[in-house]
Amino acid sequence: MGTYFNPGNESFKQAIRSQVYVDKTMLISETNKILNTEQRCIALSHARRFGKSQAAGMIDAYYSFGSDSRKLFEPYKIAKEKDFETHLNKYNVIHVDVASASDLNEEEVVETILKRLFFEFKQEFQDKVDYSQPLHLILNDIYKLTDRKFVIIIDEWDCVVRNQAENQELVHKYLQFLHSLFKSEEAKSFLALAYITGILPIKKIDNESALNNFDEYTMIDSKQFTPYFGFTEDEVKELCQQYDMNFDSVKKWYNGYLINGQHMYNPNSVFRAMVNRKLESYWKNTSAFGTINNYIQLNFDGLKEDVMKVLEGGRIEVDTETFANDLSIINSKDEALTALIHLGYLAFDAEYGEAFLPNFEVGMAYKLALQTGAWHNIAATISKCDSLLKATIRKENERAAELIELAHETYTSILKYNDENSLSCVITMAYFTAPAYYNIYRELPGGKGFADMVMIPRADVKNKPAMVIELKRGEQAETAIEQIKQKNYTGALKGYRGEVLLVGITYDENKKHTCVIESVMGV
């Protein structure tokens, strides 16, 4: 049992011993289907903290000859598959975490990996193998010696290509190393499965073919592997029951990644929310803010408007085909937005070619990211959204009107895509943090018409009233309140028992805003 060669099952043990573990072992059923086939090389590119490394540890535990993992897998779904025993701990496994190897010596990452591999080979086979040969010949000799094919796992394979793009000699050497593992003539004999993970899809590099035989599975399209990276809605519902968490609130915070028609949740965030019994942004300790800023600050026509549209809950069309899978080469608005999709800061509906903000947690990441650069005026306004919510709940009419006026002044020049409904968009942005507590509906049918906006506190939220908001231009705020009453817009809250605020918001030709707030009881 080694570190790189035939690792043990400690990683999988650690995963299943965790306070929250969701059974993803049927991923192995999918990899078993492609063992020793032309489709045996797969590349998984998903956002950080989406379970790629945990899956790699599970694959170690299942295939590695250096483990005896039968009892570990017995409680899980894969153990019920007919070919479970066929492949269990029957392969030579190589597992390399390139990010860790790069940390040791980035300039000599290939040498570092080979040095460790050869050390472990020698411990196992001593002088039965000629270690002066190229790696692919050594692997072929080991295959002949042991009569066991190789499962090769390369975690964070793309960190060298991403971080050392200017060092072409190093990148070439690294890709030649990968070629020896996956594309040499000998690999046709010794390779049973190749599983590589990264943040971005594979970059096509001129004159390099090390990875052109891989099938790719991404944040845009991961096909049959979709349910194994992230938590599915059914899995999150089950966790919410187990940990007594409100599903609607968890969904608002962490849902939103629509991949191959399935709603996928950020698994790391859901895990932490369950363990801590607390909903908050668990991406705050990542590089989210700098990453988002790198792309939304780019000076491409329409980019700012598109970002604002997704922040207020809209969708934008994105052409993802032109992206070169390289974060250092961004030549258009679509490429900037596609980078954010692959990094997990936008979700993508492939059926319609539209991107959108996945959830409230990511929205909070944008809120903090906007605080620098060309967005500072917008960030300053967004920072006051909590104050607006409090002012509304306290029925502070003048303060609420003042904050809405500030928001309208800040956003109107950007929200040109929706002039006829710009105030509604402004109000959505002005109450930017409200989704932490409320389910928010625009144009919700109720009574004799449609309420402009209805905010209903979720079941686990205490001491927050519901709100029915009516927007007017060139009229009195009292007129908006009267319309809510006459048309019985509170009918949209049928069954809700508690305080309901009727909020009338208007502005005149001088952009002077007024707000009137009344309290009634729901029935």
Residues whose CB is less than 8 angstroms from the CB of residue 442 and which lie 6 or more positions away in sequence, other chains included:
313, 424, 428, 452, 453
Grouping H, G, I as helix, E, B as strand and the rest as coil, residue 246 is: coil
Residues whose CB is less than 8 angstroms from the CB of residue 449 and which lie 6 or more positions away in sequence, other chains included:
487, 489
Residues whose CB is less than 8 angstroms from the CB of residue 63 and which lie 6 or more positions away in sequence, other chains included:
87, 88, 89, 90, 91, 93, 151, 193
Taking the CB of residue 142, how many other CB atoms lie within 10 A of it? 19
Placement of tokens 């690294």 in the chain: 174
The two tokens of residue 265 are 């949740």
> Alpha-carbon distance 84 to 89, whole Å?
10
Placement of tokens 């939220």 in the chain: 461
> Alpha-carbon distance 109 to 160, whole Å?
8
pTM, entire model: 0.90
Residue type, 6: N
Apex 39 CA angle, 34 and 42, nearest 5:
90
Placement of tokens 């004159």 in the chain: 207
Q: Which residues of 306-336 are buried (b: 16+ CB within 10 A; e: fewer)?
A: bbbbbbbebbbebebeebbbbbeebebbbbb
Report the Cα 2 to chain-centroid distance in Å: 32
> Alpha-carbon distance 188 to 150, whole Å?
11
Burial of 238 (C-beta count, 10 Å sphere; 0-12/13-18/19+): middle
The two tokens of residue 270 are 């859901």
Q: Which residues of 16-46 are buried (b: 16+ CB within 10 A; e: fewer)?
A: beeebebebbebbbebbebbeeeebbbbbbb
Residue by residue, pLDDT tens for the chain (523 residues) are 678 999 999 999 999 999 999 999 999 999 999 999 999 999 999 988 888 889 999 999 999 999 999 999 999 999 999 999 999 999 999 999 998 888 777 788 999 999 999 999 999 999 999 999 999 999 999 999 999 999 999 999 988 888 887 888 888 899 889 988 998 899 999 999 999 999 889 876 666 666 888 999 999 999 999 999 999 999 999 999 999 999 999 999 998 899 998 999 999 999 999 999 999 988 765 555 677 888 888 889 889 889 989 998 899 999 999 998 888 889 999 999 999 999 999 999 999 999 999 999 999 888 888 876 678 788 888 889 999 999 999 999 999 999 999 988 888 767 654 444 677 888 888 999 999 999 998 887 877 778 889 999 998 998 899 999 999 888 899 999 999 898 888 888 888 888 999 999 998 877 789 999 999 986 5
